[in-house]
Amino acid sequence: MAEAPQEFPERTGRLSIRTVAMPADTNPHGHIFGGWLMSQMDLAGGMHAVQRARGRVVTVAVEAMEFHQPVEVGDEVSCYTEVVRIGRTSIAIRVEAWVRRQCLDNTPLRVTTATFTYVAVSPEGGKRPVPPEE
Ligand SMILES: CC(C)(COP(=O)(O)OP(=O)(O)OC[C@H]1O[C@@H](n2cnc3c(N)ncnc32)[C@H](O)[C@@H]1OP(=O)(O)O)[C@@H](O)C(=O)NCCC(=O)NCCS
């Protein structure tokens, strides 16, 4: 019987999204499209930001996006998120994406890193202060 997969010891932050890269997520060359991965990272960071901001946020910036390794169809993709800066209305979240090749490999690889900045907004769409931490 296959050994149970281990959690990723070197990753930082909390697990915000885990999914599998599918054939529909490929570019014309058959590799996973970088834009798909960025959207997963934005979703992961956005969920973390919504929880910290206790309400709606919008993405205002992405910095230092780096692609370290390719992602392949069938890889398990996990996005880890960590708050790195809180301003008056903004929250910066570092996002790391890691893969487990074909959902099986016990040696996870860090594939991308970036810092996403979100702005807390009211239901009407105007900026609002980030509330104090509970
Ligand atoms: C987000 C938005 C409401 C901000 O409005 P704004 O009047 O330009 O706001 P400000 O210039 O005062 O910036 C608001 C906060 O974002 C931060 N910010 C703005 N641009 C930034 C950038 N490029 N990088 C990092 N932080 C940035 C500011 O420092 C400020 O943070 P603080 O309040 O914690 O000090 C507005 O730009 C907007 O609606 N953008 C579109 C968002 C969107 O639709 N995202 C999805 C894209 S598909």
- The CATH number for 22's domain is 3.10.129.10
Q: Which domain holds residue 77?
A: 14-120
Assign residue 23 a region (left: φ > 0; alpha: ψ between -120 and 50; beta: otherwise): alpha
What pTM was computed for the model?
0.92
User: Is 94 a domain residue?
Assistant: yes
User: Is 97 a domain residue?
Assistant: yes
Q: How far is the CA of 40 from the centre of ligand 1 (A)?
A: 21
User: Is 5 a domain residue?
Assistant: no
Q: For residue 29, what pLDDT is reported?
A: 85
User: Is 98 a domain residue?
Assistant: yes
Q: For residue 30, what pLDDT is reported?
A: 85
CB 65 within 8 A of CB 37: no
User: Is 9 a domain residue?
Assistant: no
CB 117 within 8 A of CB 48: no
**Model confidence at 118: pLDDT above 80:** yes
Question: What confidence tier does 116 reach under pLDDT thresholds 50, 70, 90?
Answer: very high
pLDDT in tens, 22-80: 999 998 888 899 999 999 999 999 999 999 999 999 999 999 999 999 999 999 999 99
3 state DSSP class of 99: strand
User: Is 108 a domain residue?
Assistant: yes
Number of domains composing the chain: 1
User: Is 7 a domain residue?
Assistant: no
Assign residue 46 a region (left: φ > 0; alpha: ψ between -120 and 50; beta: otherwise): alpha
Give the count of beta carbons closer than 10 Å to the beta carbon of residue 17.
Answer: 20
Mutating to test ligand 1, I would choose from 50, 52, 119, 128 the residue with most ligand atoms within 8 A of its C-beta, which is 119
CA gap 38, 41 in Å, rounded: 5
